[in-house]
Every structure is written in structure tokens, then in C-alpha cells.
């Protein structure tokens, strides 16, 4: 069998594995609020999230095209398949480490950092499309601040509107509404996160000479969507506990506000074709919602640990992928 076909097969398997891991790693972010407020049972929440992730993943392709072309040019990069394999290895290892310790770090940062590090190791800084890479980094940095602000504003408005409503009545109403916001949240997650593996596979197909445009083949869309949905069905209980209970004490109204805020920001980024970290956006929205209630209602110690993980993910995965590429090239 031709070596290129073998390498592309390896890329596809690894990319779908990354999507699967992303599914159970980031499922927590999409459904933690609805579980922690008892709007949904864990089983129903995961089934709903799996379905909506699948639908969301099949709906858009803009983020996939950005990932596949804006960090490096798949038509020009030498050893493109090796670059992709190493990047996926690095991202998967980091995702498993952070999942094991229950840290809601970013799969997006892990993949983008790993891809950039692998490209630099293979082709030097000139191999990186700096303009495209910087635009992606801007979106990754801006989106959590936007989610925090939107969460703060929406929660402030809700608190003003419902200030004279009986808390029990309000909670009952918002607990019902959370069924829809959890679905909205999972759909938005699928529209952005599953796209990243689609872009990686398409990058590999172009680098291997089996595809000539950045249009995403249907089989790539479908396989990535299914892998994400299957991973989602596994659940991520360690991270559900962190997101759902260790940032703020969530109630149905605050859960509703954080779901709407983060899903809106993620969908806006998807519409612009920009990959964002759903982990960062959702966690930041929860912090914004908590701050609207009271600055001291946010467990800032947990928030500090999360932010530290966010800050180190890009450089650590870049370094990891770069070193892994160099070691692999020496051995092979």
C-alpha cells in the first residue's frame, strides 16, 4: 500500500480520536450547568448534547476552512502529513492529561498550539501564516472577555426583571427553560469544535495530494460529527463537577444566563469562521454571571487555576509538538 495512503489513514484515525476525546472532554462545558441545577438528569443531558452536537457539526464549515488554511498552507508545506500526525499526538496527550485531572482546559488551544509548534519545527517560522495565526489568536483571546461581558449583562437584566418574583417560581420556570438552552449550548459547541478536526483532515488530504480545494468533503463532515457525538455520549464527569459546581453556585436563572451567553458568543464566532475555545467561553460566561450576582459569589481560586491552565496550553502544546516532531524526524 502506498505510504501516503497509510499516513492519511493514520491522520483520519487520529483526528477522529481527537474529536471523540474532545466530545467527552468538552461535553461537560455544554451540559454542566443544566445538570448542576437539576434541570436535566445526567443521562438525558448527555443524550441531548450528543444529538445537538451532531446536528451542529453538520451545519457549518467556515471554522474548518480557517483551521485547514490559516495556520499554514497545506499546498506548500513539506512533510505536511507528518506535521499533522505529530500535532494530533500532542493535542490528544494534553487533552487526556487535563481530562484526568478535571481541568477544563481548551481542546482548541491544544490543537492550534500543537499545529503551530509542529509547523515551526518542520519549516521554521516562515512556514506559519502569521496573519492567519494572529487572527486566530485574537479570536481565542477576545472571546472569553466577550462571554464574561455578555454573561454579566444578561444576568444583570434578568435580576432586575425578576427581582420581585418569588424565587421558587422563578427557579421552576428557568429550570424548564434550561432544557432548551442546554440544547442551544450543545448545538453551538458542535458548530465550532467538530469543525477543527474537519479542517485537519482536509489539510492532510491536500498535503497528500488527494484533494485540491479547502471545500470539506461530506464524508469528512459526517465522520467528524459522529465521532464528536459518540465522545459526547461518554460524558466527562470530572470536568462536569468543576464547571458545574466549582466556579459559582449555579441556580436555574444563572444557569440559563450562562448558557445563553456562551452559546451566543460561540455561534457568533462560528458565523465569522473563527475557532474559539468553547471551554474558555462557557467558563467565562459563568464567571460573568456570578459577578453580576456578587463578586464574592465566584470561587476565584478555582477560576485562577483554570486561567493558569488556559495560559499554559498554547505554549506547552507548541513546545511539546515541536520537540516531538524533531525527535520523530531523527528516529525516522
Res 256 pLDDT > 70: yes
Cβ pair 166, 32 in contact under 8 A: no
* Res 244: pLDDT: 45
Integer Cα distance of 272 and 294 in angstroms: 33
Predicted model pTM: 0.87
The Cα–Cα gap between 186 and 81 comes to 31
DSSP secondary structure letters along 176-219: HHHHHHHHHHHHHHHHHHHHHHHHHHHHHHHHTTS--SSPPPHH
Q: Where are the alpha helices (DSSP H) in 101-129?
A: 107-123
Residue 72 has a CB neighbour count (10 Å cut-off) of: 26
- Based on the structure, what is the number of domains in the chain? 1
94-142 pLDDT tens trace = 988 887 776 767 788 899 999 999 999 999 999 999 999 999 999 998 9
Burial class of residue 71, CB neighbours in 10 A (0-12, 13-18, 19+): buried
Task: Specify the 3-state DSSP secondary structure of 75.
Answer: coil
| CB 54 within 8 Å of CB 229 | yes
What separation in angstroms does the CA of 263 have from each of 79, 86, 101, 170, 331?
Answer: 37, 31, 26, 22, 45
The backbone torsions φ and ψ at residue 275, rounded to the nearest 5 degrees and listed phi first, read: -75, 130
Q: Which domain holds residue 58?
A: 3-331
How many other CB atoms sit within 10 Å of the CB of residue 217? Answer: 15
Residues 57-93 pLDDT 10s: 999 899 999 998 899 999 888 888 999 999 999 999 9
Question: Residues with Cβ < 8 Å from 194, sequence gap 6 or more?
Answer: 19, 22, 53, 56, 57, 224, 225, 227, 228
Cell numbers representing residue 304 in the block: 485562577
What mean pLDDT is predicted for residues 25-46? 74
Distance CA 284, CA 306 (A): 10
pLDDT value of position 97: 87
Amino acid at each position: 500500500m502506498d505510504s501516503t495512503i497509510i499516513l492519511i489513514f493514520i491522520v483520519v484515525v487520529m483526528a477522529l480520536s481527537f474529536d471523540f476525546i474532545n466530545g467527552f472532554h468538552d461535553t461537560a462545558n455544554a451540559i454542566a450547568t443544566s445538570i448542576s441545577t437539576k434541570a436535566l438528569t445526567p443521562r438525558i443531558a448527555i443524550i441531548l448534547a450528543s444529538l445537538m452536537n451532531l446536528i451542529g457539526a453538520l451545519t457549518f464549515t467556515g471554522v474548518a476552512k480557517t483551521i485547514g488554511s490559516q495556520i499554514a498552507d497545506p499546498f506548500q508545506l513539506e512533510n505536511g502529513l507528518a506535521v499533522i500526525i505529530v500535532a494530533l499526538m500532542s493535542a490528544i496527550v494534553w487533552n487526556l492529561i487535563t481530562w484526568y485531572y478535571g481541568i477544563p482546559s481548551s481542546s482548541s488551544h491544544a490543537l492550534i498550539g500543537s499545529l503551530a509548534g509542529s509547523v515551526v519545527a518542520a519549516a521554521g517560522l516562515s512556514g506559519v501564516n502569521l496573519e492567519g495565526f494572529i487572527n486566530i489568536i485574537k479570536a481565542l483571546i477576545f472571546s472569553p472577555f466577550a462571554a464574561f461581558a455578555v454573561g454579566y449583562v444578561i444576568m444583570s437584566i434578568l435580576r432586575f426583571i425578576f427581582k420581585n418574583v418569588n424565587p421558587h417560581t422563578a427557579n421552576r420556570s428557568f429550570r424548564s427553560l434550561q432544557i432548551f438552552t442546554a440544547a442551544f449550548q450543545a448545538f453551538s459547541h458542535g458548530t465550532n469544535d467538530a469543525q477543527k478536526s474537519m479542517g485537519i483532515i482536509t489539510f492532510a488530504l491536500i498535503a497528500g495530494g488527494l484533494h485540491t480545494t479547502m471545500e470539506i468533503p461530506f464524508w469528512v463532515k459526517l465522520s467528524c460529527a459522529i465521532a464528536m457525538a459518540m465522545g459526547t455520549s461518554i460524558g466527562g464527569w470530572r470536568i462536569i463537577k468543576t464547571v458545574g459546581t466549582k466556579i459559582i453556585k449555579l441556580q436555574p436563572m444563572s444557569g440559563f444566563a450562562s448558557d445563553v451567553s456562551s452559546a451566543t458568543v460561540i455561534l457568533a464566532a462560528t458565523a465569522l469562521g473563527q475557532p474559539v475555545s468553547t471551554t474558555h467561553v462557557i467558563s467565562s460566561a459563568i464567571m460573568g454571571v456570578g459577578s453580576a450576582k456578587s463578586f464574592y459569589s465566584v470561587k476565584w481560586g478555582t477560576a485562577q487555576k483554570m486561567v493558569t491552565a488556559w495560559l499554559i496550553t498554547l505554549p506547552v502544546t507548541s513546545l511539546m509538538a515541536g520537540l516531538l516532531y524533531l525527535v520523530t524526524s531523527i528516529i525516522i
